[in-house]
């Protein structure tokens, strides 16, 4: 899409998703308009991205179309995907913006003071109850890092983790999480993230996505509560960014690109706020992938260039950024630029150091 068209259609993402959901529900514009009390011409303008959604309309459309808060999130954040909503200058105002609705059957995530029972956590194949999963994977980790997941508090120091039942008790309510020891809760939820990451990679447990999103809501609420006390929720935001990436990747694997974009952008905000360069690079890579799947070379290049600007001291980040730029230029059918960035990536790979190997 050209820059002019983007500027003329500030609500294009909302409109495109609304059209897909309406068609998926088997409704005409006239029928949908009648259900929500608006003329069908307004529905047409909304789907064309030419009209701002009226206040409250998205909240009525989501339950009607089964989109679990997705339209409300898109309606609350109109933006050009290349408008860098996730960079540091925008972090403060968007840090605790509305999240997509929970993926738990029959409702959203646990409300303040609500419960998340152990039944809400998939235990088979995730290692949550210890032992080997059916896919032959290891059980509950003894220490961190595990499965490439590091401790948000202590990086790669080999942190011990609580027993799985102690972690499940933290998930019973938002209050239980807030009242726990920060270190124990962070270590336990990071261990759970490791189990969910392995289960998602081995496609063992259908409930991995639902669990990741439910826990993510709790962690984001925990971060917000810590922030309200005047402390920076550094570890909580890093943990939330990691869960958001897992949720986004799971949504992407289901073809739900709008929701995966929302999760990746939330994760990127949290990673920026907590100065987590590794997560920022990884999430920008996921956004590059989404843009390429949409055949959007311009957005893919912007995300890749943003990755390259993160930290010039990290050769692996620079190499990855050049590779993503090469793919973007290939999508644009610009052979010379594609080859140039491949060569630049090779040069950065030749300069990898010890930290690069540990992080990458």
pLDDT tens track for 243-278:
999 999 999 988 888 889 889 988 988 998 888 999
In a domain, 325, yes or no: yes
| pLDDT the model gives residue 42 | 80
Whether residues 260 and 335 share a domain: the answer is no
Instruction: Give me the CATH number covering residue 64.
Output: 1.10.260.40
Whether residues 147 and 253 share a domain: the answer is yes
Rounded CA gap, 348 and 105, in Å?
46
For the chain, how many structural domains are there in total? 3
Residue 144 is inside which H or E element, if any?
A: strand 143-144
Whether residues 152 and 241 share a domain: the answer is yes
| pLDDT the model gives residue 337 | 95
Rounded CA gap, 125 and 58, in Å?
37
Confidence of residue 326 (pLDDT cuts 50, 70, 90): very high
- Pick from 200-209, 286-295, 306-315: least confident: 200-209
Rounded CA gap, 163 and 155, in Å?
20
Cβ atoms 182, 232 nearer than 8 A: no
In a domain, 349, yes or no: yes
In a domain, 254, yes or no: yes
Question: Is the confidence at residue 240, as pLDDT, over 90?
Answer: yes
Range 71-86 average pLDDT: 53
Considering 75, 91, 120, which residue would you say is the last residue of a domain?
A: 75
Confidence of residue 282 (pLDDT cuts 50, 70, 90): very high
Whether residues 170 and 270 share a domain: the answer is yes
Considering 75, 101, 127, which residue would you say is the last residue of a domain?
A: 75
Whether residues 180 and 208 share a domain: the answer is yes
Listed residue (223, 230, 291, 233) closest to 257, CA to CA:
291
Using DSSP's 3-state secondary structure scheme, residue 232 falls into: coil
Whether residues 244 and 310 share a domain: the answer is no
Whether residues 234 and 150 share a domain: the answer is yes
Whether residues 262 and 296 share a domain: the answer is no
The token pair that represents 286 in the structure block: 């996921």
pTM above 0.85, yes or no: no
Question: Is the confidence at residue 166, as pLDDT, over 80?
Answer: yes
Whether residues 176 and 270 share a domain: the answer is yes
Q: Give the angle subtended at the CA of 80 by the CAs of 79 and 83, to the nearest 5°.
A: 95
Domain that holds residue 151: 141-275
Confidence of residue 63 (pLDDT cuts 50, 70, 90): confident
Whether residues 271 and 145 share a domain: the answer is yes
Whether residues 165 and 242 share a domain: the answer is yes
Range 15-28 average pLDDT: 89
| pLDDT the model gives residue 41 | 78
Listed residue (244, 149, 241, 237) closest to 192, CA to CA:
149
- Pick from 144-153, 216-225, 341-350: least confident: 144-153
| pLDDT the model gives residue 342 | 96
Range 82-110 average pLDDT: 49
Q: Who has greater pLDDT, 76 or 242? A: 242
Considering 50, 75, 100, which residue would you say is the last residue of a domain?
A: 75
Q: Who has greater pLDDT, 114 or 254? A: 254
The token pair that represents 206 in the structure block: 């259908």
| pLDDT the model gives residue 83 | 36
Whether residues 266 and 337 share a domain: the answer is no
Question: Is the confidence at residue 116, as pLDDT, over 50?
Answer: no
């Amino acid at each position: 899409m050209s820059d002019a068209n983007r500027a003329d259609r500030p609500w294009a993402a909302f409109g495109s998703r609304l059209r897909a959901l309406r068609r998926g529900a088997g409704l005409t514009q006239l029928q949908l308009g009648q259900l929500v009390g608006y003329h069908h011409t307004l529905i047409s303008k909304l789907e064309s991205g030419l009209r701002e959604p009226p206040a409250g309309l998205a909240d009525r459309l989501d339950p009607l179309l089964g989109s679990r808060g997705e339209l409300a999130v898109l309606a609350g954040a109109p933006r050009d995907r290349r408008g860098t909503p996730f960079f540091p200058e925008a972090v403060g105002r968007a840090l605790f913006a509305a999240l997509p609705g929970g993926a738990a059957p029959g409702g959203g995530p646990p409300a303040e003071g609500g419960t998340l029972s152990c039944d809400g956590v998939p235990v088979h194949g995730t290692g949550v109850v210890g032992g080997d999963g059916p896919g032959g994977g290891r059980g509950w980790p003894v220490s961190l890092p595990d499965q490439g997941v590091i401790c948000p508090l202590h990086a790669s120091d080999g942190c011990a983790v609580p027993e799985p039942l102690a972690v499940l008790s933290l998930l019973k309510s938002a209050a239980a999480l807030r009242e726990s020891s920060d270190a124990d809760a962070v270590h336990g939820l990071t261990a759970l993230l490791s189990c969910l990451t392995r289960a998602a990679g081995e496609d063992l447990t259908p409930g991995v996505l639902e669990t990741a999103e439910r826990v993510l809501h709790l962690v984001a609420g925990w971060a917000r509560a810590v922030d309200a006390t005047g402390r920076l929720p550094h570890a909580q935001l890093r943990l939330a960014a990691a869960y958001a990436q897992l949720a986004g990747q799971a949504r992407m694997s289901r073809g739900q690109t709008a929701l995966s974009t929302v999760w990746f952008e939330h994760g990127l905000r949290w990673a920026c706020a907590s100065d987590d360069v590794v997560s920022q690079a990884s999430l920008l890579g996921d956004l590059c992938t989404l843009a390429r799947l949409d055949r959007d070379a311009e957005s893919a290049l912007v995300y890749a260039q943003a990755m390259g600007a993160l930290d010039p001291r990290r050769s692996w980040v620079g190499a990855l950024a050049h590779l993503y730029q090469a793919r973007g230029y290939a999508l644009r059918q610009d052979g010379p630029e594609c080859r140039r960035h491949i060569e630049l990536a090779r040069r950065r790979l030749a300069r990898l150091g010890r930290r690069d190997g540990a992080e990458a």
